[in-house]
Amino acid sequence: MAAGGVIAYEDIFEILDQDADGKRFDRVSRFRCRSAFESDLQIDINIDIYKLEVRPRVDDPRGASPPPPPLPPRCRSRQLRPFRSPENLSPSASSPQIGTKFTLVLAPTLSLDGTPEDPAYDQSGKESLADSYEYVMYGKVFKKQDENEGGIRRSVVNVSFGGLLMQLKADPKNLQDVDIDNRLYVLIRKIS
């Protein structure tokens, strides 16, 4: 944990695709992302407020390079219906793309010293964790479960941010500070 023990989870993700199951809302897109540490993320972002991109790869003469190798096969597990199945998290050969890389942080408070949130809005202008990020949402963990797929243990955390959803699959050690009914901030900052 960084920032005085305030951060519950932090990782760098790259966008694999946008609205793979079709666009359902004008102002919201669902992004599927993957980190270098084999964490999978699906997150809804208000694209009127914050732009994330999926763009063609530039390292191929045709403007696109082959997709990364497929992920190992996984068992089917019970999941929320709004999220796409994890079997196909890498982009397809028909649409090889590379996306924006961004840092994602989960934190129970925006206070840099880790003090719990006050229910009243803080208008003091005091420095907070949000000052270092470009996009911030506040929500509640409504589901957490552990799954064992092919001998690989992962925790699956589902968070609702007032209707925008996030599903994060990561090593259980990395998500040990995140529990059901926790109130969390998700903070995002683009790095490329």
Position 109 scores a pLDDT of 92
151: left (phi over 0), alpha (psi -120 to 50) or beta: left
Is 4 a member of any domain? no
Helix (H) or strand (E) holding 45: strand 40-46
Residue that the structure tokens 């699956």 belong to: 156
Position 151 scores a pLDDT of 86
Relative to beta strand 97-99, strand 9-18 is: unpaired
Is 2 a member of any domain? no
Distance CA 163, CA 169 (A): 19
Compute mean pLDDT per 10 residues along the chain, 192 residues long, and list them.
71 93 90 93 95 67 44 38 44 52 95 83 84 95 93 95 96 95 95 84
Is 108 a member of any domain? yes
Is the separation of the CB atoms in 15 and 32 below 8 Å? yes
pTM of the model: 0.75
Using CA atoms, how far residue 121 sits from 64, 110, 118, 125, 126, in Å, is 47, 12, 7, 11, 12
Residue that the structure tokens 């109130």 belong to: 183
Position 149 scores a pLDDT of 83
Distance CA 150, CA 81 (A): 22
Is 1 a member of any domain? no
Distance CA 73, CA 86 (A): 9
Three-class DSSP category at 88: helix
Range of the domain at 31: 9-190
Query: CATH number, domain at 106?
Result: 2.40.50.140
Say how many domains are in the chain.
Answer: 1
